Amino acid sequence: IKKTASKYAKGATPVKQAAVLGAGIMGGGVAYQSASKGTPIIMKDIRPEALELGLSEANKLFNGQVERGRLTTAKAFKAMNAIVPALSYGEFEHVDLVVEAVVENVKVKKSVLAETETKIADDAILTSNTSTISITELAKDLKRPENFCGMHFFNPVHRMPLVEVIRGEKTSDAAIAKTVAYAQAMGKTPIVVNDCPGFLVNRVLFPYFAGFSLMMEEGADFQQVDKVMERFGWPMGPAYLLDVVGVDTAFHADQVMAQGYPDRMKHEGKNAVDRLFELERFGQKNGQGFYTYE
């Protein structure tokens, strides 16, 4: 995988200044990872409280590195300062690459991407961290679709090595090269994949969630299923993983997968994720999902 990625990154100039849209679970994680590996990053959100949370999560991670003796206080301080919180597009004209990480909704993403495109330089690369939405679809209203591709990180960003770099119908080789190079600079293992709903990893993961939901409808106990999957050797079971991912994100992603693969992914009536979503039990992010968190 590493060799192939290096082939794709050939000739790319490094990203000197990055930006991320959204300071949530993923946006905050991308900001931390970028800053910790030396690429300054603007973290933009529309809610000040989201920025505060994103910054405090990054701070916690840097402090953890200092406590474990992996980072000096001075280096942690410098890295923390490389994350610049923003509520506006102020400095976006100097950005080389943007990672969009707002809510998993086609309409919202399209409007945010179109707006961002007007704020960045003509040769800057725009990417989306969408979990499931087709990159070709997201590119439809963009003026420079050749400069757009998917950059799909996994949660938690600082621990998960893989990044899917997704080539849309009009994505240029230069955009892929820059994105792959940035993923490598962040210490990640990029793979270049073709465009389809769910790309590679979520085409495997979401049918697994669907299988779990079906068992729930048949009366299975989610805690028992989680325990069994842990015994099977996986770090966590599906219910806990859904709480980590965010039930709201999984709900939206599930709709995209059902539309993309109706024969396999469409379900009759409401399943467990639908019901939790309706109850606004979004998982760890708001303290209640399948499980309850302090």
List the catalytic residues: 152
CB of 60 to ligand NAD, least distance (A): 16
Rounded Cα gap, residues 97 and 119, in angstroms? 12
| Cα distance between the two ends of the chain | 40
For the record, the structure tokens of 118 come out as 């007007």
Measured CA distances, 39 to 100, 133, 191 (Å): 17, 27, 20
103 binds ligand NAD (CB under 6 A): yes
24 binds ligand NAD (CB under 6 A): yes
If binding is defined by CB under 6 A, does position 95 make contact with ligand NAD? Answer: no
- Contacting ligand NAD within 125-164 (CB under 6 A): 129-131, 153-155
CB of 104 to ligand NAD, least distance (A): 4
Tell me the number of residues near ligand NAD by CB under 6 A. 28
Instruction: Check residue 23 for interaction with ligand NAD (CB under 6 A).
Output: yes
- The CA distance from 123 to 94, in Å, is 11
Would you say 131 or 271 has its CB closer to ligand NAD? 131
**Contact set for ligand NAD, span 181-200 (CB under 6 A):** none
| Residue 139 token pair | 């590119």
Q: How many CA atoms lie within 13 A of 78 on its CB side?
A: 9
Four-CA torsion 126, 131, 137, 141, nearest 10 degrees: -40
27 lies in the binding site for ligand NAD (CB under 6 A): yes
Shortest reach from residue 86's CB to ligand NAD, in Å? 9
Task: Report if residue 104 touches ligand NAD, rule: CB under 6 A.
Answer: yes
- C-alpha gyration radius of the chain: 19
Report the C-alpha gap between 215 and 292 in whole angstroms. Answer: 21
Q: Which is nearer to ligand NAD, 171 or 249 (CB)?
A: 249
242: tokens are: 């859904």
The least distance separating ligand NAD from the CB of residue 7, rounded to whole angstroms, comes to 25
At its nearest, how many Å lie between ligand NAD and the CB of residue 67? 26
Q: Is residue 1 involved in binding ligand NAD (CB under 6 A)?
A: no
Indicate the pairing of strand 18-21 with strand 189-194. Answer: unpaired
Residues that bind ligand NAD (CB under 6 A): 21-27, 44-47, 50, 101-104, 112, 129-131, 153-155, 245-246, 249, 253, 285
